[in-house]
Chain A
Amino acid sequence: MKLLVIGTLGGFFSGLFGVGGGTVVVPMLIFWLAYGEREATGTSLAAIVLIAAYGAIDQAIYGNVNPAHAALVGIPALAGVVTGAAVQQRIPERAVSLLFAALLVATAAELIF
């Protein structure tokens, strides 16, 4: 039941603000379902695949997607995500929490300004 709510809210905020559902999903998994940080972030990525795929297909129909530009940021990002996941296994979970808190503050700043 909680999973259904978390998933729905993740998608909801994603559709509302264009921020990834992960911003909502990760903390809810940690606080509500007592996930560890690594497990929360890994599982969040799996959910994001589906949410983003739906969004991308929907937007592609409207002709808003630029595949060349997606590749330009996306291909380096593939190297980035492999690196990030590897680094994450080697740092304390508390550091993951603090990084996430910093990301939330940055997201809030981006929304406000």
Chain B
Amino acid sequence: MEYVAAGLLGFLGGMLGGLVGVGGGVLFVPALVIFLDQTQVKAEATSLMAIVFVAALGAYRQYGYGNVQVRDGLVMGSMGVLGVVGGVAIANAVSGRTLELMFAALCLVIAVQLVRRVLKGSRPPATDRAPGPP
């Protein structure tokens, strides 16, 4: 039963990856912690391994749809590796709680900006169908 639940969350995490371009870790990690009894650290590590394959297949499919700027992706990915090294170093040095709250605030600010942008209609909708609530 736990395996089914973990697999279902995995599927939904993958859907999220295809829909909004994230790795899916936001669902993989809870799936691993809650249903497969992994610790937070091991869940994040295991999630990363799953993300490699999920993001690779997702990028391949999106490339087929004409939605990938390959050079830009490679440049960002290469710089990202440097960023990870810095991020991990700081995560080990600074109080996690303050950083978490700051990043949470940043997420909310960006969310508001995205919604405002949609409401302003800075980009015409691709179809006439009104988007439903997320």
Interface of B is mostly: helix
Q: Is the CB of A97 within 8 A of B13?
A: no
Q: Inside 8 A of B80's CB, which chain A residues have their CB?
A: 7-8, 10-11, 14, 21, 47-48, 50-51, 54
Q: Is the CB of B48 within 8 A of A56?
A: yes
Chain A residue nearest in CB terms to B23: A20
State how many angstroms separate the Cβ of A20 from the closest Cβ of chain B.
Answer: 4
Q: Is the CB of A11 within 8 A of B20?
A: no
A residues whose Cβ falls under 8 Å from a Cβ of B:
3-23, 25-27, 30-31, 35-36, 38-56, 58-60, 62, 64-67, 69-89, 91-112
B residues whose Cβ falls under 8 Å from a Cβ of A:
3, 6-26, 28-29, 31-32, 36, 38, 41-42, 44-59, 61-63, 65, 67-70, 72-91, 99-101, 103-105, 107-108, 110-115, 117-118, 123, 125-127, 129, 131-134
